[in-house]
Chain A
Amino acid sequence: MRVLVIEDDADVAAYIVKALTEAGYNPSHADNGKDGLVMATAEDFDVLVVDRMLPGPDGLTIIRTLRASEDQTPALILSALGDVDDRVKGLKAGGDDYLTKPFAASELLARLEALTRRASTRGTPAETRLAVGDLEMDLLSRSVRRAGTAIDLQPREFRLLECLMRNAGNVVTRTMLLEGVWDYHFDPQTNVIDVHVSRLRQKIDKDFDTPLIQTVRGAGYVLRDSGRNSGP
């Protein structure tokens, strides 16, 4: 997986490049907007990590330029601590996700994973069925079965599980769940999400030998068939 990191802060860039390399990505780095734009158009990348404020054209301009030339490479926008809530602007410019600095490497990796997954299924017919191990989800009838047994889920629990299943094998952070399942961008003061996940766990994992939903300390959750190794 090739990632282009356009980031002018040398420390942040080194941090991202290191994290990406360790996670098995193949990162390239540009330290200004002009080089970044040239590299993004000349080479083929799977995903872009673009800082908002850059010397030369800024992050939003780069993404807007790429989108105008029909380049749909998924892009994650990074923003400094100061502009906490410019998320809407970033997404309007054609960014696919948004992350505020400073961030944990795990959060960045989880989001990049989700972005590339989304991009790879783009264009293929919409899935009607998701399956992880013996857990099956029918998106049309909105029903869930595990090992053949029907599991009754509330609508929100269904969406929570769907989000985890779509990212099966990858960490999904709490903020990603809030954005993906509840569609709110906010900062919960307590781990209110954990309660929902634990309820879902009760229904999905309680009566079965192998737990599918696992907690990744300091990062979030991952849905994984631990019987078989389905990691990246």
Chain B
Amino acid sequence: MKTARLLRSATFRLALLYMLIFGGSVAVLLGFIYWATVGVLSEQVDETIQADIKGLAEQYERRGTRGIAAIIGERIRKDPGGRTVYLLTDPLQRPLVGNLDSWPPAKPDADGWIAFELVDRGDPDERPYLARAKRFVLQGGLNLLVGREVRELERTRHMIVNAMIWGIAITLALALAGGIAMSRSTARRIDSINQTSRDIMSGDLDRRIPAGGTGDEFDQLAENLNAMLDRIQGLMEGLRHVSDNIAHDLRTPLTRLRGRLEDLDDADLSAAERTGRIDAAVAEADTLLSVFNALLRITQIEAGGRRENFAAVDLAAVLHDVAELYEPLAETKGLTFSSHIGDVQNITADRDLIFQAVANLTDNAIKYTPAGGSVTLHAAGNTITVSDSGPGVPEDAREDVFRRFHRLEESRNAPGSGLGLSLVRAVAQLHDGDVRLEENRPGLKAVLTVG
């Protein structure tokens, strides 16, 4: 189980790959060392043998068979251990002089090199050892074999090869152990993320991924995931808040509607009274429906689904239309309405929604400003401002009023659903803009930016 999991782990597989690459590199490095030591040593042996042959060939030319035999004999005497091998034979390979009994049976290679085994004459129990020799044919058909025992060379070669095998084995073992350790520590961090995710999925939304405190990539991942979770939780709370509010805000009109319907069940009612009560009930239902419509509209706009109606919009014309539509309403309420629509930029927008947003702001300004006050629609660039001389909104409530159904205590009894500003914000954000409320001294200033 555990092994299978380890093999599936991405970090462990990376460690394994790393181990192979590292092991390969070490093998190449050791190969070079081998070539640089053993190779050079055996080349030296070959050079010595060739120099020896060259010297003996010269002596043969100068002093003939007898002379060379004497030299060889002399050399053998000086080397009782038999580190150097000499054998001079006649053309029929019968030995004339030398420390070998017979011509070695091994076949020489193209250059005349022969590798063969020797037994130490001084110690017959010792295991045979390797020697390397070269055959040279002297003038007159005599065969000369000059060689060296390569016991030392072989021993060195053995040592180096052994060291290399162990070196690679240790390297691989260390890399593997490191890989497992690394993958374990990474897996632990990922496990903690997974565990937190599972906890959250099973409903514990307050869980957060613990940070290691080192500020590494895992900590950054944890931070980002935590920030994402915070955002989701915020949205969830917003949603819960909205549903609470829907339940609360719609319970009252629904109860009223229910009451009105019950009132109809009264045999003593005159036809006119009955019609009046039916009308009132229908009006109540219509109010409820318009609230639902407004909610759905906001949701749709927030989901960004309305961009299909985007087109080039003459913003100035839309604003003039709003001013024209609302000016009579303001005047009827005894307000001074003025509009200053300057050099506004034309935008790609949903004309109806922009109209609705500015209309909502204007409507609010007119609704909350007492008679004798003023409402001004001002626009320049991509900024539309609706300012009034009304009671304003306390600074700490200027963000809350954009929440669905949020209404200030003092305006609870004014008509409206508490959705107007939520819609304005949704429209603004759909158009890559925003809306905020500012102090107008006296009154309130709503600043809407689009695009």
With beta carbons under 8 angstroms apart, the residue of B286, B306, B416 that contacts A189 is: B416
- Could you tell me if A195 and B329 are in contact, using CB atoms closer than 8 angstroms? yes
Q: Which of B98-119 contact A (CB under 8 A)?
A: none
Which segment, of A3-11, A64-72, A162-170, A180-188, faces chain B?
A180-188
- Could you tell me if B363 and A192 are in contact, using CB atoms closer than 8 angstroms? yes
**Which chain A positions have C-beta within 8 A of B289?**
81, 102
**Which chain A positions have C-beta within 8 A of B297?**
84-85, 187
- Could you tell me if B363 and A189 are in contact, using CB atoms closer than 8 angstroms? yes
Chain A interface residues toward B at CB < 8 A: 81-82, 84-85, 88-89, 100, 102, 104, 156, 182, 184-190, 192, 195-196, 199, 217-218
| Residue B23 lies at the interface, judged by CB distance under 8 Å to chain A | no
- Could you tell me if A218 and B279 are in contact, using CB atoms closer than 8 angstroms? yes
A195–B334 CA distance with the chains assembled, in angstroms: 13
| Residue B326 lies at the interface, judged by CB distance under 8 Å to chain A | yes
- Could you tell me if B282 and A85 are in contact, using CB atoms closer than 8 angstroms? no
**Which chain B positions have C-beta within 8 A of A88?**
308-309
- Could you tell me if B367 and A190 are in contact, using CB atoms closer than 8 angstroms? yes
Q: Who on chain A is nearest to B416 by CB?
A: A189
| Residue B321 lies at the interface, judged by CB distance under 8 Å to chain A | yes
A85–B289 CA distance with the chains assembled, in angstroms: 15
- Could you tell me if A184 and B329 are in contact, using CB atoms closer than 8 angstroms? no
A194–B328 CA distance with the chains assembled, in angstroms: 10
A185–B359 CA distance with the chains assembled, in angstroms: 12
Which 4 A/B pairs are nearest by Cβ-Cβ distance?
A186-B356, A195-B328, A195-B329, A184-B355
**Which chain A positions have C-beta within 8 A of B329?**
190, 192, 195
Q: Who on chain B is nearest to A197 by CB?
A: B328
User: How far in angstroms is the closest Cβ of chain B from A207?
Assistant: 20
Q: List 17 A-B contacts (CB under 8 A).
A: A84-B300, A88-B308, A88-B309, A102-B289, A184-B356, A187-B290, A187-B293, A187-B356, A188-B363, A189-B363, A189-B367, A189-B416, A190-B367, A192-B325, A192-B329, A218-B279, A218-B283
Q: How many A-B residue pairs have CB under 8 A?
A: 69
| Residue B332 lies at the interface, judged by CB distance under 8 Å to chain A | yes
User: How far in angstroms is the closest Cβ of chain B from A1?
Assistant: 26
Q: Which of A185, A187, A217 has the most CB of B within 10 A?
A: A187
A186–B283 CA distance with the chains assembled, in angstroms: 19
**Which chain A positions have C-beta within 8 A of B306?**
85
| Residue B420 lies at the interface, judged by CB distance under 8 Å to chain A | yes
- Could you tell me if B351 and A189 are in contact, using CB atoms closer than 8 angstroms? no
Given A195-B328, A196-B328, verify A190-B363 contact (CB < 8 Å).
Answer: yes
Q: How large is the interface on B (under 10, 10 to 19, 20 to 34, 35 or more residues)?
A: 20 to 34
Given A184-B321, A195-B332, A218-B279, verify A85-B309 contact (CB < 8 Å).
Answer: yes
- Could you tell me if A189 and B420 are in contact, using CB atoms closer than 8 angstroms? yes
With beta carbons under 8 angstroms apart, the residue of A84, A192, A195 that contacts B296 is: A84
Q: Who on chain A is nearest to B352 by CB?
A: A185
**Which chain A positions have C-beta within 8 A of B296?**
81-82, 84
User: How far in angstroms is the closest Cβ of chain B from A140?
Assistant: 24
User: How far in angstroms is the closest Cβ of chain A from B425?
Assistant: 15
**Which chain B positions have C-beta within 8 A of A184?**
321, 351-352, 355-356
User: How far in angstroms is the closest Cβ of chain B from A194?
Assistant: 9
A196–B366 CA distance with the chains assembled, in angstroms: 16
A162–B326 CA distance with the chains assembled, in angstroms: 20
- Could you tell me if A199 and B360 are in contact, using CB atoms closer than 8 angstroms? no
Q: Which of B350-376 contact A (CB under 8 A)?
A: 351-352, 355-356, 359-360, 363, 366-367
A185–B279 CA distance with the chains assembled, in angstroms: 26
A199–B324 CA distance with the chains assembled, in angstroms: 13
**Which chain A positions have C-beta within 8 A of B360?**
189
User: How far in angstroms is the closest Cβ of chain A from B29?
Assistant: 71
A85–B367 CA distance with the chains assembled, in angstroms: 27
A196–B329 CA distance with the chains assembled, in angstroms: 8
**Which chain A positions have C-beta within 8 A of B282?**
104, 218
**Which chain A positions have C-beta within 8 A of B355?**
184, 186
- Could you tell me if A186 and B352 are in contact, using CB atoms closer than 8 angstroms? yes
A199–B330 CA distance with the chains assembled, in angstroms: 13
**Which chain A positions have C-beta within 8 A of B363?**
188-190, 192
| Residue B415 lies at the interface, judged by CB distance under 8 Å to chain A | yes
**Which chain B positions have C-beta within 8 A of A218?**
279, 282-283
Mask, B283-305, CB within 8 Å of A = 1, is: 10010011011101100100000
A188–B367 CA distance with the chains assembled, in angstroms: 13
- Could you tell me if B321 and A182 are in contact, using CB atoms closer than 8 angstroms? yes
Q: Who on chain A is nearest to B357 by CB?
A: A186
- Could you tell me if B300 and A156 are in contact, using CB atoms closer than 8 angstroms? no
A188–B238 CA distance with the chains assembled, in angstroms: 26
- Could you tell me if A182 and B325 are in contact, using CB atoms closer than 8 angstroms? yes
A76–B279 CA distance with the chains assembled, in angstroms: 26
**Which chain A positions have C-beta within 8 A of B290?**
187
**Which chain A positions have C-beta within 8 A of B328?**
192, 195-196, 199
- Could you tell me if B283 and A190 are in contact, using CB atoms closer than 8 angstroms? no
Q: Who on chain B is nearest to A218 by CB?
A: B279
Q: Which of B160-203 contact A (CB under 8 A)?
A: none
Q: Which of B300, B309, B325 has the most CB of A within 10 A?
A: B325
**Which chain B positions have C-beta within 8 A of A81?**
289, 292-293, 296
**Which chain A positions have C-beta within 8 A of B359?**
186, 188-189, 192
